[in-house]
């Protein structure tokens, strides 16, 4: 399989509320992308050294999950972020581009997102396929950026990020299996009423659920999940409850002295208007943040507890069979 020499260039532009440096900061914080940008499912950040950083990203590309590793150079003085894929997923052979931010004549910030890419073996159909994905995702990302930049409160006040870690009996593989097999959650978890799981290819799932929170309210969600056996399940809700603008998270599993250290992490973006409508009072946002922490945390801890019971029963059965 050879590389490609024929490239295609694209550029997409939008005017976004806020000053150029404020909008720059939104794009620069890549770890929040899953709750800001619709296509982004999960980001694994490898670290930043000065103005340079690397990360792996999973994102929806033409209705399927793709993954790649990218490097970025952030220039807050020139208000420019350059990026390039270090490791692409076929049919992409190479991808690079940049974000540019400048004051718009009528106020706000003009954001220009450009790409240049090649495909494996110069396949013209693949070039069109990638071009369609870029032309689909770029306007969606710019629209999402405008929505978040235009919120009445700073994004830092709307983001809720937390994790619960527990030690479970049994192996990480068995605890992973319990969370991976979400198609059986309605019979295994008290807060899940209905569930529908599809897996078009191994490790890439779509999960539709109806869940119940501690106050008796029900929520319907639809998520895409990336399952990397047997240590990571990352998800991003494509349809979120009314109180939220975005919700993503991970389940991780690691061996710990013969037991399993399991962690459920959540990254949430609260809708400030929905918070005011639901909670009212002097500080509805604080009430919404507390509610989200309690409701999501309780359900995750229940899931992990049941995963521990499942893993312990599996270990006991294996021991009895020997």
The pLDDT tens digits of the residues spanning 19-60 come to: 999 999 999 999 999 999 999 999 999 999 999 999 999 999
Task: Verify that 113 and 144 share a domain, yes or no.
Answer: yes
Domain boundary among 149, 182, 210: 149
Q: Which helix (H) or strand (E) holds 286?
A: helix 284-321
**Structural tokens at position 279:** 């909670």
Domain boundary among 87, 122, 149: 149
Task: Verify that 140 and 165 share a domain, yes or no.
Answer: no
Gap between the Cα atoms of 307 and 238, Å rounded: 25
Residues 126, 131, 134, 139, CA torsion sign: negative
- What phi and psi, each to the nearest 5 degrees, are found at residue 214? -60, -25
pLDDT in tens, 140-191: 999 999 999 999 899 999 999 999 999 999 999 999 999 999 999 999 999 9
Task: Verify that 248 and 311 share a domain, yes or no.
Answer: yes
Residue 2 domain-assigned (yes or no): no
Residues 286, 151, 273, 223, CA torsion sign: negative
- What pLDDT tens digit does each residue of the chain (322 aa) get? 444 468 999 999 999 999 999 999 999 999 999 999 999 999 999 999 999 999 999 999 999 999 999 999 999 999 999 999 999 999 999 999 999 999 999 999 999 999 999 999 999 999 999 999 999 999 999 999 999 999 989 999 999 999 999 999 999 999 999 999 999 999 999 999 999 999 988 999 999 999 988 788 888 999 999 999 899 999 999 999 989 999 999 999 999 999 999 999 999 999 999 999 999 999 999 999 999 999 999 999 999 999 999 999 999 998 888 7
**Its pTM surpasses 0.85:** yes
Q: Return the residue matching tokens 């190479």.
A: 94
Task: Verify that 62 and 81 share a domain, yes or no.
Answer: yes
Task: Verify that 198 and 144 share a domain, yes or no.
Answer: no
Task: Verify that 298 and 177 share a domain, yes or no.
Answer: yes
What lies within 8 Å, CB to CB, of 159 at 6+ separation is: 32, 35, 267, 268, 269, 270
Q: Return the residue matching tokens 């369609």.
A: 132
CATH of residue 95's domain is 3.30.530.20
**Structural tokens at position 272:** 């400030």
Task: Verify that 144 and 165 share a domain, yes or no.
Answer: no
Task: Verify that 199 and 227 share a domain, yes or no.
Answer: yes
DSSP 243: T
Phi-psi region of 104 (alpha: psi -120 to 50; beta: other; left: phi over 0): beta
Domain boundary among 149, 181, 214: 149
307 bridge partner residues: none
Look at residues 102, 105, 40 and name the one whose alpha carbon lies nearest to residue 75.
102
Task: Verify that 312 and 191 share a domain, yes or no.
Answer: yes
Task: Verify that 197 and 302 share a domain, yes or no.
Answer: yes
Range of the domain at 163: 156-321
């Amino acid at each position: 399989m050879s590389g490609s020499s024929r490239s295609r260039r694209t550029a997409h532009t939008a005017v976004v509320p806020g000053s150029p440096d404020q909008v720059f900061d939104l794009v620069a914080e890549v770890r929040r992308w899953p709750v800001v940008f619709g296509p982004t499912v999960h980001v694994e950040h490898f670290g930043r050294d000065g103005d340079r950083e690397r990360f792996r990203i999973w994102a929806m590309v033409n209705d399927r999950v793709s993954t790649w590793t990218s490097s970025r150079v952030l220039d807050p003085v020139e208000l420019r972020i350059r990026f390039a894929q270090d490791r692409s997923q076929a049919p992409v052979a190479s991808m690079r581009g940049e974000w540019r931010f400048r004051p718009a004549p009528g106020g706000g910030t003009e954001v220009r997102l450009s790409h240049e890419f090649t495909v494996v073996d110069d396949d013209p159909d693949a070039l069109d396929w990638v071009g369609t994905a870029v032309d689909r995702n770029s306007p969606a990302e710019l629209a999402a950026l405008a929505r978040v930049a235009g919120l009445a409160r700073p994004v830092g006040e709307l983001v809720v990020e937390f994790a619960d870690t527990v030690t479970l009996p049994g192996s990480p593989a068995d605890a992973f299996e319990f969370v991976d097999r979400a198609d059986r959650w309605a019979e295994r978890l008290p807060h899940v009423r209905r569930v529908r799981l599809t897996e078009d290819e191994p490790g890439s799932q779509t999960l539709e659920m109806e869940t119940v929170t501690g106050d008796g309210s029900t929520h319907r969600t639809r998520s895409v999940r990336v399952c990397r056996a047997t240590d990571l399940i990352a998800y991003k809700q494509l349809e979120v409850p009314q109180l939220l603008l975005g919700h993503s998270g991970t389940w991780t599993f690691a061996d710990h002295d013969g037991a399993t250290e399991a962690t459920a992490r959540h990254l949430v973006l609260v809708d400030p208007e929905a918070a005011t409508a639901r909670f009212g009072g002097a500080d509805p946002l604080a009430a919404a943040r507390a509610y989200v922490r309690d409701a999501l945390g309780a359900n995750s801890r229940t899931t992990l507890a049941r995963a521990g019971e499942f893993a312990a029963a599996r270990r006991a059965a294996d021991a009895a069979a020997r």
